Structure 1
Amino acid sequence: MSARTYIGSVRVALLDDHALVLKGLVAHLKAYPSLTIAGSSPNSQHFRALLASMPVDVALIDYSLAADDPDGVTLVRSLRAAFPRMKVVVVSAFDDGPLVRRLLAAGAHGFVGKSQDPDDVIRAIDAAMTGRVYVPPALERVLEYGTDPKLSPKETDVIHHLLEGMTVTQIAEKFGRSLKTISAQKSSAFRKLGIGSDNQLYAMRDHVRALEGGAE
């Protein structure tokens, strides 16, 4: 129990669309008597109803949910607006700097990578409850930099045409580049934007278009 540093009880609600991950997190948190599981949910709609029905100190949420759920940055912003006193800690398999910067800028109180020690979740909860921001030690320097990712001109072109409804194959044909090259540029842009699917790209269309404008 040495991971626990905050003195006091904390009510935690969890959101993750993977049942095994959700059950594993709940089981780990239950090992700490001062942490109370207020509830858990596999989707954001049910999760919002849960938060509205009872007091919650910390929301522990997955970044990447099902296709019909908002992306993590959008969800963090909306939760912070709807429940301003509640702390939000994000757990994600995507643990690169650009994503963490965007989540912190959106109002997240902490970030834990899914490859980290489970006790880091406890440390993140405790940090949030004491007014600190937790990020993995390897990513602490992200706090020193700006919050918007820098897309290269070619990455910007690929994202723009994806938003226009073109496929990777069509983009490759249009620019006379190989499919492998366009796919790599798309993957690089997605990493910088902190997203993992086309649906998440479309969900954050306005933010991405603003970045495109800044890159031109």
Structure 2
Amino acid sequence: MTFPTYRGPLLAGKGPRNPVRVALLDDHEFILKGLTSHLRQVASVSVVGSHSCSRSLRAMLAETPVDVVLIDYSLASDDMDGVALVKTLRARYPNLRILVVSGFCQSVTVNMLLREGANGFFAKNQGAADMVDAIAKVMGGEIYLPPFMMTATAKPQSPLSPREWEVIRCFLDGMSVSQIAAKFNRSLKTISTQKSTAYKKLGIRGDAELFKMREQVLQSQEVA
């Protein structure tokens, strides 16, 4: 995988003699090697480690100074959940900059990650050159978000109405639309509309995403 060499300044005072120390975590070898190759072409960045599991990353962090970690949100099934990993790293390394990299761009996920201490979110469909800007932003104390997410994610999410939350909660409990309609004595059309509106507020596009993000959705409503 070949990326164009980045030739602009990353940060004032950062360069080959004083680089930003970056560690990477992704369980996909192709992506991990691609990011590593790209960042090694940036004069003001030093890749101090690339890891395929969080255990290896955490072991390295205990021994090696790091400024920024780039971590994949969705790791292997036997590894830590992305939100739990962010929370763990933030508690142990309060000065570490945490930039989450993922192809899952739902606002409920991003807001949860930011709330647990991530310094930014980078979408995997962004250009490779954007990564340098993302590192610069979090190193400068800013929150980084992809341009297409700035408006939706930077603003507080619209809370679900009590009836919308009833529908989502029942749906997560395994009830069908018709069962929910019968339970609350509402029409199928009303329940379907309330479910659709709740999905839009949560940034979810379908049933599969809702169940995949079950814990995040439940937690987001508990703290809302």
TM-score by length of 1: 0.74
Letter in 1 for 2:42: Y
Shift of 1:189: 7.6
Tell me by how many angstroms 1:119 deviates.
1.2
What per-residue deviation string (whole Å, max 9, x for no partner) do you get for residues 44-86 of structure 1? 2222122112111101011222233343333222211111111
Residue 188 (str. 1) matches residue 199 (str. 2): yes
The 1:123–1:78 alpha-carbon spacing in structure 2 relative to 1, beyond 3 Å, is same
Out of 2, 6, 9, the residue aligned to residue 7 of structure 2 is: 2
Aligned residues of 1:12 and 1:36 also touching (Cα < 8 A): yes
RMSD (CA atoms): 3.4
The structure 1 residue matched to 2:95, chosen from 85, 90, 112, is 85
1:138-194 Cα distance to aligned partner (Å, 9 max, x none) = 222246422x56346676346534654x3xxx535633669xx6xx86x93896379
Residue in 2 that maps onto 1:201:
214
Distance 1:207 1:97, change over 3 A: closer
Q: Does 1:114 align with 2:132?
A: no
- Residues 171 and 153 (structure 1), Cα distance of their counterparts in 2 relative to 1, 3 Å cut: farther
In percent, how many aligned pairs have the same letter? 36
Count, aligned residues: 203
Contact 1:3 1:119 in 2 (8 A): no
Aligned with residue 180 of structure 2, among 165, 175, 182: 175
Matching residue's letter, 1:192: G
1:53 aligns to what SS in structure 2?
coil
Matches within 5 A, 1:147-186: 150-151=159-160, 156-157=165-166, 159-161=168-170, 164=173, 166=174, 171-172=176-177, 174-175=179-180
**Partner SS state of residue 88, structure 1:** strand
Deviates more, 1:15-24 or 1:60-69: 60-69
Within a 5 Å distance, the mapping from 1:1-216 to structure 2 comes to: 1-6=6-11, 7-8=13-14, 9-142=19-152, 144-146=154-156, 150-151=159-160, 156-157=165-166, 159-161=168-170, 164=173, 166=174, 171-172=176-177, 174-175=179-180, 188=199, 192=203, 196=209, 198=211, 200-202=213-215, 204=216, 207-208=219-220, 210=222
On the 8 A contact 1:12/1:57 being kept in 2, the answer is yes
Structure 1 residue ranges without an equivalent (≥5): none
Q: Which has the higher contact order (CA 8 A, sep 6+)?
A: 1
Over alpha carbons, which structure has the higher Rg? 2
Q: Counterpart of 2:203 in structure 1: which amino acid?
A: K
Quick one: which amino acid aligns to residue 126 of structure 2?
Q
Encode CA deviations 1:94-116: one digit per residue, 9 max, x unaligned: 22444333322322222211111
How has the CA–CA distance of structure 1 residues 3 and 108 changed in structure 2, closer, same or farther, with 3 Å as cutoff?
farther
Provide Cα deviations, 1:30-53, integer angstroms capped at 9, x if missing partner: 111331112122222222122112
Change (3 A) 1:122 1:68: same
Which residue identity lines up with residue 142 of structure 2 in the other structure?
A: R
Distance 2:121 2:39 in 1: 16
Secondary structure of 1:59's aligned partner: strand
2:149, 2:68 → 1: CA distance? 22
Tell me if structure 2 keeps the 8 A contact 1:64–1:196: no
